[in-house]
Structure 1
Amino acid sequence: MHVFDFAMAGAYCKSLYAFSGDQHQQGLRFEAGEIIKVIQASAGGWWEGEKDGVRGWFPASYVQVLEAWW
C-alpha cells in the first residue's frame, strides 16, 4: 500500500544531485540544479515528477522543495 502526500502535488523542487533514473522502472532522469514539478509524493521516499514534459519517479532525498516558484 502506498501513502501519498497530496499537499505536495503541484509544488516545485530543485534537484540537489544528478539522478540517472536507472534505480526505478519509471525513473526520471535529471542533472543537479534542475527544476522539477511534483506530481505526487509517496511516503516511501519516491516522488513522481515532471521535467520538460517527461514524467517519472525519483528519490525525494535528491531534491529540495522550493517555497515559491514564479
Structure 2
Amino acid sequence: MYDYTAQNDDELAFNKGQIINVLNKEDPDWWKGEVNGQVGLFPSNYVKLTTDMDPSQQ
C-alpha cells in the first residue's frame, strides 16, 4: 500500500507494489518479511495481505 524506508538495521525497506514474503506475524504491529533477498521487520499497516495463487490455476 505504501513505500517504507527502513529506520534501523533490522528493518525491511520496500516500495509500494513489491511483494513481501511474510515470515512472522507474532507482533501485530511489526511483521518480519523478506523481499529481494533482504530480511527484516516492517510495519504491518503499510501492506495489504494477498493469497498465493493455486499453481493449478496458473
Q: TM-score range by the shorter chain?
A: 0.7 to 0.9
Q: Which has the higher contact order (CA 8 A, sep 6+)?
A: 1
Hey, what does 1:20 align to over in structure 2?
A: 5
- For residues 40 and 27 of structure 2, the distance between their equivalents in structure 1, rounded to whole angstroms, comes to 16
How many residue pairs match? The answer is: 54
Q: Which protein has the larger Cα radius of gyration, Structure 1 or Structure 2?
A: 2
Superposition RMSD in Å: 1.6
Q: Aligned residues: percent identity? A: 31
The normalised TM-score by structure 2 is 0.80
Unaligned runs of 5+ in 1: 1-15
Unaligned runs of 5+ in 2: none
Corresponding letter in the other structure for 1:27: E
Hey, what does 1:57 align to over in structure 2?
A: 41
Point out the structure with the larger strand share.
1
